[in-house]
Amino acid sequence: MIGKTATVPAIAAVALLASTAFASAKTVCYVTAADSHAYATPANVALNDRAKELGIEILSLSQNFDVQTGTEQVSTCIARKADGIILWPLDPQAYIPALARAKQANIPAILINSPMAEQANEFIKSFTGPDVYEEGKLAADSLNEAMKGEGAVVVIAGQAGNGTTIGRVGGFVDRLKETGSKIEVLDTVNADFDQQKALVASRDLITRFGDKITGVYANDDTMARGFIDAWKEANAGKPTPPIVGINGQRDAFDSIRSGEMYSTIVQSPVEDGKLAINTMAEILDGKEVNARLPIPLTVVTKANVDSVEPAF
Amino acid sequence: MTDVAAMGQTTKDGARFNQGNRLVGLLSRAGLLLAILAVILYGSISNPVFFTAGNFVNVLTSMSIVGIVVVGMTFVLVVGGMADLSVPATIACGAILCLALQAYIGPVPAFAVAVLLAGVTGLVNGVLVGYVGINPIIATLGMGTIVLGIVQAAVGGVIVYGADPSSADFVKSRIFGVPMIAIIFIAIAIIGNFVLSRTFWGRWTIATGGNYSAAEASAVPVRAVRAGAFVITAFAAGISGGLLGLTLQSARPLVGQGYEFSAITAVVVGGVSIMGGFGSIPRAMAGLVFVQLLTNVMVLQGVRTPIQGFVLGLLIAGAVALDIALRKRGVA
Amino acid sequence: MSAFVSTLLRYRVAVILGLTLLVAAMIVPGFVSLTTLSLGLDRGSTIGLIAIGLTVLLIAGQIDLSVGSVFAVAGIVAVMLQPMLGMGPAAVVGVLAGTAAGIVNGCLVVFLRVNSLVATLATMLIFRSIAHWMTASQPIPGTDIMFSITLSEIYLQVFTVRSGLFLVSILLLHVWLTRTVAGRNLFAVGSNALSAEASGISSDRIMFSSFVFASTLAGVAGVLQSLATNTGSPVYGSELTVAVIAAVVVGGTRLEGGRGSALGTLGGVLTIAALTTAMEFQSVPAYMQQVASGLILILLVVLDRTVRTGGKTRRKRCPRLTLFISNR
């Protein structure tokens, strides 16, 4: 009898301890783009490592590049009463209702890596990371510089309908128009961020336009590589036209050194991941944060290729 | 019915099928050749760069990777196995292992191990389909998911780079202006054709696809033959993936995405029946050439990528519907 | 003992579902709650609604690979027409777009006699292109965000509009399949179209309607998804088809036709949903989730085989695949 009465408060005490321990460790829901991806994986790792240092618990959900999964995962985060949500949007619109519900539930949300449409602004605390639209603009400037403001380019884009593709192509085209550049876009093809598809598409583009191509813009370095290989097949020994890529991959750095590529834009996945969780930590501490927190984007050309670290 | 009678039945059926359909067969084969000629004609008129040696070498090189898979997929369709949906996984397996192992065991053993492991996937597919009797679509779908998951877990999502750039030189080297990768593809297609049309294994494959029970009754090892088609496809996809990895010198888990449908499209447009028992490598190759030339013309003409899917879809439906209509008329 | 085993095998979907829930309840903290149930149901309902249509189609011995593309097109139509027609009518037109897609599929398979795997592979490409063409490959925003939020409201602590609709539909399907003549005819057509025809059932009509039904439900799911996210996107649903086929097959419906059940599909959908939810709670990487669902798929179809060949009513083995009869 005595034993039994003693256990009840003991259990209560343990439960209390457990709950306070639970309360002090904040749980942040991280809806990432994918677990298995050259850029997303290091960003996820950096975010998780930094969270551990900060003593924040991360509940990591992977959309596997599927928007529908992602919108449902935000609901999961709300239902699980997370203390904060970090969302990697794959679409500029689709998450808005889910983010609105997060706001109703008083869960602060921030965006990592990609921006969303303006209507999302009232439901998020901040957007951290590179801006894919900005990258498109930087690429336009870089190519404009390489081509001295005139000539004709082909654009090798990512997947049709994908948020990154839309931003990187949109920023590029808008910037050319904005600066009044005389560069003409010969054609835009979708190669789905895939080197082989870019290789095949580039062969056809080179056959079709030949020497008319005086510049190339690829939505990422992988596809730029595809164009370089196709160019070498078709015109052995002839120097490539200026090629601008994005991401700052290691092999793109080699290509810039050897002169096969003109420039790439480095966005560091590690910085991307760290900035997001740091920002979330500040929000959880009750601090105000800026609505837009960019990570540095570095345009890498032959001039600075040896002083910049490749992204991955 | 005794075995002999059953066999007699099939051969008689087969003979009648051949005779009654000779004209139609000719027509459907000629139809595809005419279609290819039409594309070439249109391409040459509409675009000055189309009818050049350079462009044709490009098309040939570009179709080599998927072409090797097409050879295997033809066996799957002819044996009545409908489709192998695990191709993206086996390609990824080939490409990633072929590069990842280079640093440890050298490029040639790495290639061999990669192809062999892809083949093991095919063996599991084959056992599930041929011996356990699971529907091929489901078996290969499930296996594909599992293998792709394991591959992703193994490399953790990063891009795998090759350790030996000179291995790429071999694939890119040319003999009389034809890239090595295309020569390998043509060699595999010739071997595939030989096996399917001239050997006992090919006869068994066609018999099993045409009439399973009759083939079984006449002592064809039907289960092994069905399983074999999936092993062949996995080996082909493994080789294809390995070559892809060597060409690109980089590989990621989703490198094989979409190849299963491209391969099925080529085989089906070539007039190989998805019901099995009928088809040949040359037919599948004609289908492949047609689809690739059409895509090439569309890109040269600046047709937007999503619209190309539309044309391809119409083409598949149209080609198959036409084939069926022709054959029905022939039988009647 | 063997009776026990065979009962277990017979209700294997329920057993697997039960095991999944049990394991999840034991190792995943906070899994057992109404919230989890509601979440699981809501996440299952998109796949579930399409699975209802595909169950019917698979029983009829056909398959539809285009449902994912139809899902996208219907949603886009529903969102695009909102400014002109208003929300309700636009949604109806969206669903009708799904119906129209089903008519196209039905015509290809029933009238032109194209094998359904090939026909819907073709229309999968075509409808996806149409989705890209309509939107110029950009996601399109809807007019009313508030409605989207209402749509995800949880009633009675468990149901959302979507999950309620799914559960009601699957019960209706169950009644239809088991209690009506039309339902029985469907099975007859699926097991043997020719003999069904001989006994006076119009197998063509049944197959045609099955295609229309499947696409219409894909349309409903697509419209609901677009309303819930206030967006019509050309990339929606590109990963759906495989998941739906897996859910239906896990539920014991067979691709060869003639066998399947609504409750099995419900079990399959819930199993996949429970598995996904539980693994997400534990932050299991997506690729490991894939391995797990692939294994369950293979395990269940192998069990399915064992039941059939090991059961008392040992039917004559029929290895000749009767799937996709229409090509004959």
Cα–Cα distance list, C170 to B210, B240, C55, C57, C250 (Å)? 38, 44, 10, 14, 16
Helix (H) or strand (E) holding A218: strand A215-218
Q: List the single best residue of B82, B254, B298 to mutate versus C (max C Cβ within 10 A).
A: B82
Which domain CATH number covers B201? Answer: 1.10.3470
Whether residue C59 lies within 8 A of chain B, CB to CB, comes out as no
Residue B16 domain flag: no
How many CB atoms are located within 10 Å of the residue C271 CB? 27
Q: List the single best residue of C230, C272, C277, C291 to mutate versus A (max A Cβ within 10 A).
A: C230
User: Average pLDDT of C165-193?
Assistant: 89
Q: Which residue of B has its CA nearest to A196?
A: B248
Q: Flag if B132 and C130 touch (Cβ within 8 Å).
A: no
DSSP for residue B129: I
Per-residue pLDDT, B156 = 73
C309 pLDDT tier (thresholds 50, 70, 90): low
- Residue A267 C-alpha, separation from nearest chain B C-alpha, in angstroms: 16
User: Average pLDDT of C98-110?
Assistant: 95
pLDDT in tens, C261-298: 899 999 999 988 888 888 888 888 888 888 988 998 89
Q: How far apart are CA C277 and CA C229, in angstroms?
A: 20
Partners of C232 in beta bridges: C140
Nearest by CB: C139 against A36, A91, A101: A91
Q: Flag if A69 and C239 touch (Cβ within 8 Å).
A: yes
Q: How far apart are CA A44 and CA A50, in angstroms?
A: 10
Q: List the single best residue of A68, A81, A132, A174 to mutate versus C (max C Cβ within 10 A).
A: A68
User: Average pLDDT of C313-323?
Assistant: 38
Res. C168: pLDDT tops 90: yes
Q: Flag if A91 and C286 touch (Cβ within 8 Å).
A: no
Whether residue B132 lies within 8 A of chain C, CB to CB, comes out as yes
Q: Which residues on chain B are in Cβ contact (under 8 Å) with C114?
A: 317, 320-321, 324
Instruction: Give residue A297's identity as a one-letter amino acid code.
Output: L
Residue B45 domain flag: yes
Q: Flag if A97 and C230 touch (Cβ within 8 Å).
A: yes
User: Average pLDDT of C309-325?
Assistant: 40
Which CATH architecture is the domain A2-129+269-295 placed in? 3-Layer(aba) Sandwich (3.40)
Q: Flag if B309 and C256 touch (Cβ within 8 Å).
A: no
Instruction: Note whether B188 and B290 are within 8 A (CB).
Output: no
Q: Flag if C293 and B222 touch (Cβ within 8 Å).
A: no
Chains in contact with A via at least 3 Cβ–Cβ pairs below 8 Å? B, C
Per-residue pLDDT, C153 = 75
Whether residue C20 lies within 8 A of chain A, CB to CB, comes out as no
Per-residue pLDDT, B21 = 56
Q: Which residues on chain A are in Cβ contact (under 8 Å) with C140?
A: 93
Chains in contact with C via at least 3 Cβ–Cβ pairs below 8 Å? A, B
Per-residue pLDDT, B23 = 65
Q: Residue ranges of the domains in chain C?
A: 43-303
Whether residue C135 lies within 8 A of chain A, CB to CB, comes out as yes
Q: With b meaning 16 or more CB within 10 Å and e meaning fewer, what string describes B232-258?
A: bbbbbbbbbbbbbbbbbbbbbbbbbbe
Res. B310: pLDDT tops 60: yes
Q: How far apart are CA A187 and CA A203, in angstroms?
A: 14
Residue B143 domain flag: yes
Q: How far apart are the first and last CA of chain B?
A: 27
Q: pTM for this one?
A: 0.86
B154 pLDDT tier (thresholds 50, 70, 90): confident
Q: Which residue of B has its CA nearest to C322?
A: B275
Q: Flag if C130 and B310 touch (Cβ within 8 Å).
A: yes
Looking at the structure of chain B, the number of domains it has is 1
Q: Which residues on chain A are in Cβ contact (under 8 Å) with B161?
A: 250-251
Q: How far apart are the first and last CA of chain C?
A: 44
Nearest by CB: B142 against C137, C285, C294: C294
Res. B328: pLDDT tops 70: no
Instruction: Note whether B259 and B253 are within 8 A (CB).
Output: no
Q: How far apart are CA A123 and CA A103, in angstroms?
A: 6
Q: Which residue of B has its CA nearest to C127?
A: B310
The CATH number of domain C43-303 is 1.10.3470: yes
What is the extent of the structural domain holding B146?
Answer: 3-8+22-331
Instruction: Give residue B133's identity as a one-letter amino acid code.
Output: G
Instruction: Give residue C293's identity as a one-letter amino acid code.
Output: S
What's the ipTM? 0.84
Nearest by CB: B157 against A41, A201, A249: A41
User: Average pLDDT of B229-242?
Assistant: 96
pLDDT in tens, B155-214: 876 778 888 878 888 888 888 888 899 999 999 999 999 999 999 999 999 999 988 889
C155 pLDDT tier (thresholds 50, 70, 90): confident
Percentage above 90 pLDDT, chain C: 37
Total length of chain C: 328
pLDDT in tens, B89-113: 999 999 999 998 888 888 899 999 9
Q: How far apart are CA C286 and CA A33, in angstroms?
A: 10
How many CB atoms are located within 10 Å of the residue A237 CB? 5
Percentage above 70 pLDDT, chain C: 93
Percentage above 70 pLDDT, chain B: 89
Largest separation between any pair of C-alpha atoms in chain B: 63
Cα–Cα distance list, B103 to B106, B111, B113, B169, B250 (Å)? 6, 12, 13, 17, 13
Per-residue pLDDT, B331 = 44
The rounded average pLDDT for each run of 10 residues, N- to C-terminus, in chain A (312 residues) is: 43 43 73 85 92 91 87 87 92 89 92 87 90 91 91 91 86 92 90 88 88 92 92 86 91 90 92 93 90 88 87 79
Q: Residue ranges of the domains in chain A?
A: 2-129+269-295, 132-266
Q: How far apart are CA C242 and CA C124, in angstroms?
A: 13
Per-residue pLDDT, A18 = 42
Nearest by CB: A37 against B157, B250, B302: B157
CB pairs under 8 A between A and B: 81
The CATH homologous superfamily of the domain defined by A132-266: Response regulator (3.40.50.2300)
pLDDT in tens, C7-60: 777 788 888 888 888 888 888 777 777 777 888 888 889 999 999 999 999 999
Q: Which residue of C has its CA nearest to A103?
A: C149
Dihedral angle sign, alpha carbons of residues A267, A268, A273, A278:
negative
Residue B151 domain flag: yes
pLDDT in tens, C193-206: 888 888 888 888 99
Whether residue A225 lies within 8 A of chain B, CB to CB, comes out as yes
Q: Flag if B61 and A203 touch (Cβ within 8 Å).
A: yes
Q: Which residues on chain C are in Cβ contact (under 8 Å) with B273?
A: 327
Nearest by CB: B306 against C115, C137, C317: C137
Q: Flag if A75 and C39 touch (Cβ within 8 Å).
A: yes
Given this chain, do its domains A2-129+269-295 and A132-266 carry the same CATH topology? yes
Q: How far apart are CA B133 and CA B81, in angstroms?
A: 11
Helix (H) or strand (E) holding A38: none
pLDDT in tens, B264-274: 999 998 888 88
Quick one: CA torsion of A160, B157, A221, A61, rounded to 10 degrees? 50
